Amino acid sequence: MPVHSQIMIHHQYESLPSPAAALQKMGKKILKKENVPTGRTVSVVLCSDYMIKKLNTTYRKKEKATDVLSFCFDDDDFLGEIYISLQRAKVQARRFGLTYDDEVLRLFVHGMIHLLGYDHIKEKDRIIMEAKEKQYFDVED
């Protein structure tokens, strides 16, 4: 019996809600469409600005909060971790005219695309990455 991939949600900032079901659904959709081998796990930590600022400072040497961080793992079973600041998502949702859940989902997709090896350091890579992200919001399943 094949081992299915998992999207593990860790809700560590209880002051704001978690759209866990939507994250699970989107995560499985991305893994399938990107032909990620079954049995891979992605850990998603829904956290505060404080927690993500500590991670951003430690791992990126940027002493400020950010909206999403992704950490890839070179492991057959564990694809990586995604940290999403729910506080930042709430602020950005208002700024972008999105619902809170849609903004959390947008950040999650961004993190997943990073785990698949895409980045946006160079302008040409940013364009490719944004197109990849957009395809997951333009197609209904």
Q: What is residue 3's predicted lDDT score, i.e. its pLDDT?
A: 65
Q: What is residue 71's predicted lDDT score, i.e. its pLDDT?
A: 97
Question: Residue 87 carries which side chain, given as an amino acid letter?
Answer: Q
Does the pTM of the predicted model rise above 0.85?
A: yes
Q: CA distances (Å), 27 to each of 2, 14, 23, 122, 123, in order?
A: 18, 22, 6, 26, 26
- Bridge partners (DSSP) of residue 44 are 9, 82
Q: What is residue 1's predicted lDDT score, i.e. its pLDDT?
A: 45
Residue by residue, pLDDT tens for the chain (141 residues) are: 456 789 999 999 999 999 999 999 999 999 999 999 888 999 999 999 999 999 999 999 999 999 999 999 978 899 999 999 999 999 999 999 999 999 999 999 999 999 999 999 899 999 999 999 999 876 554
Are 11 and 18 within 8 A, CB to CB? yes
Q: What ranges do the domains of the chain cover? A: 6-138
Q: How many CB atoms lie within 10 A of CB 69?
A: 21
Selecting from 3.40.50.620, 3.40.50.300, 1.20.5.510, 3.40.390.30, what CATH number does the domain 6-138 have? Answer: 3.40.390.30
